[in-house]
Structure 1
Amino acid sequence: MAKRIEARNLNIYYGKFLAVADVDFTIAPRSVTAFIGPSGCGKSTVLRTINRMHEVIAGASVQGELLLDGEDIYGAGVDPVNVRRTIGMVFQRPNPFPTMSVYDNVAAGLKLQASRPKRAELDEVVEKSLRAANLWDEVKDRLDKPGAGLSGGQQQRLCIARAIAVEPQVLLMDEPCSALDPISTLAIEDLIQSLKQTYTIVIVTHNMQQAARVSERTAFFNLAGVGKPGQLVEIDDTQKIFSNPSQRRTEDYISGRFG
């Protein structure tokens, strides 16, 4: 079941440095939300905060609330490992496990679970996940071959298959197409459109045309000033952000006057 995400007065720190300040947003289930903005404005930092990857960095911390269907994922007693199982992540560069086969890459997360599935169950999940990632027909005859031997676009879809194999409810994507060619990028964008029927998806992208193509809502982040924290300037329906934004700073960025 896809989840609703809410940030309330979210402040994100690296040590004592406030990197992103006072972020508030709501993301609906089974939708695609794009985070856009210039480099260094905090959009990837906010993305990593949504599945508690930010705190892996030494000295990093978060204040405020980040709610998943009303439950604060930073609340006392919440296991970050369970959070990351519920909220999957796909990174900028494809990162299949280089020594593992295509099959074992997809099954990796399942094998870490307390109740390890039987081989027949693994076979079923691996095929289902690869089909969902629109990769099955391309790799079904080479499941035992190294995942790192696939093309860049195939590797990224393999990483998506690996992320959805453990049945998350949210899928975060940090510039998933930045290292890919146009044909592979189109394949990932088509895949995002089919995956949103099942998952809540948040994508960070520097490509504004991509944000316009794949998302229903867009959040624009910017720096408050040199040496100041990033901030969420506005979040709204994607069509409105790109045609009639509420804030002048958004319009300046969209029109190419800066960034």
Structure 2
Amino acid sequence: MSKQIEIKDLDIYYGSFRAVEGVSMLIEPRTVTALIGPSGCGKSTVLRSLNRMHEVIPGAYVDGSVMMDGQDIYGAGVDPVNVRRQVGMVFQRANPFPTMSIKENVLAGVRLNNQRISRKDADDLAERALRGANLWEEVKDRLDLPGSGLSGGQQQRLCIARAIAVQPEVILMDEPCSALDPISTLAIEDLIAELKNEYTVVIVTHNMQQAARVSDRTGFFNIAGTGKPGKLIEYNDTEIIFSNPEKDDTQNYVSGRFG
């Protein structure tokens, strides 16, 4: 499990508007890559392009390529649904299905994929996914209770369990801690460090300290002005980005001079 992702000359459009221009980056398997930058610079758009979720918006399309282990996910005949099975997504706000139990939430993706699974296998999969999300010990005695009854941090980990239950190879996280308290944030950050042992993880965050703590490599995005496309300004090892970046814009952003 886990895939190498190679983005080449990627332009992302919403109709006639070019939201992102000329992004090229290589993301290695079993690493955490952080995408940082001011609001509106395209980092979440790039993240959603990695599982073709941006195409949910009518008129959205890309030029360029996104190669996963050598296969272009935008190639002719590639089914975006199959791409999304391999590339899990965790959103900014936890979104457990409110009418489903904790266990049903974990298994929701498997059911949606029409996978036949015995009760014992379902029990085993739910436990494995919840253990993978560091949530099992907290919920094992209330699996039949609504997932919406969990705390915010637990709900986010439940969503991570739901994502990994379908056995993806890449996990995308769009500001997964922005709505959480510091204790819950720490739990998610610890989990991210564990997830990279099995998955390729890409995370968008506005929290500079978080990017420095959890990621191996960091990409800094910026925008020249309103109506201009976002661009990848610098991409390097996280330690270099935060201590000795090559670009002045990167230095100004990570030091808090703007953004």
Q: Deviations over 1:127-152 (max 9, x none)?
A: 00000100000000110000000000
Shift of 1:225: 2.7
Shift of 1:179: 0.4
Q: Which runs of 5 or more residues in structure 2 are unaligned? A: none
Which whole-Å CA distance do the structure 1 matches of 2:226 and 2:2 have between them?
38
- Find the residue that maps to 2:176 and give its secondary structure: coil
Q: Does 1:116 align with 2:113?
A: no
Which whole-Å CA distance do the structure 2 matches of 1:181 and 1:89 have between them?
21
Which whole-Å CA distance do the structure 1 matches of 2:115 and 2:108 have between them?
13
- Find the residue that maps to 1:257 and give its secondary structure: coil
Q: Deviations over 1:161-202 (max 9, x none)?
A: 000000000000000000000000000000000110000000
TM-score under structure 2 length normalisation: 0.99
Q: Which residue pairs with 1:20 in the alignment? A: 20
Q: Does 1:99 align with 2:99?
A: yes
Which whole-Å CA distance do the structure 2 matches of 1:159 and 1:226 have between them?
34
Shift of 1:114: 3.7
Shift of 1:25: 0.2
Q: Which residue pairs with 1:208 in the alignment? A: 208
Kindly provide the amino acid, as one letter, of the partner of residue 27 in structure 2.
I
Aligned pairs for 1:84-95 (under 5 A) are 84-95=84-95
- Find the residue that maps to 2:231 and give its secondary structure: strand
Fraction of identical pairs, as percent: 70
TM-score under structure 1 length normalisation: 0.99
Kindly provide the amino acid, as one letter, of the partner of residue 235 in structure 1.
Y
Q: Identify the range of structure 1 (237-246 vs 113-122) with the bigger mean alpha-carbon deviation.
A: 113-122
- CA-based RMSD of the aligned residues comes to 0.7
Q: Deviations over 1:101-145 (max 9, x none)?
A: 000000111112344111111111100000010000000011000
Q: Which residue pairs with 1:8 in the alignment? A: 8
Q: Does 1:154 align with 2:154?
A: yes
Aligned pairs for 1:68-79 (under 5 A) are 68-79=68-79
- Find the residue that maps to 2:62 and give its secondary structure: strand
Kindly provide the amino acid, as one letter, of the partner of residue 220 in structure 1.
F
Q: Which residue pairs with 1:82 in the alignment? A: 82
Kindly provide the amino acid, as one letter, of the partner of residue 8 in structure 2.
R
Which whole-Å CA distance do the structure 2 matches of 1:99 and 1:34 have between them?
33
- Find the residue that maps to 1:192 and give its secondary structure: helix
Which whole-Å CA distance do the structure 1 matches of 2:128 and 2:162 have between them?
11
- Find the residue that maps to 1:107 and give its secondary structure: helix
Q: Which residue pairs with 1:255 in the alignment? A: 255
Q: Does 1:131 align with 2:131?
A: yes
- Find the residue that maps to 2:185 and give its secondary structure: helix
Q: Which residue pairs with 2:233 in the alignment? A: 233
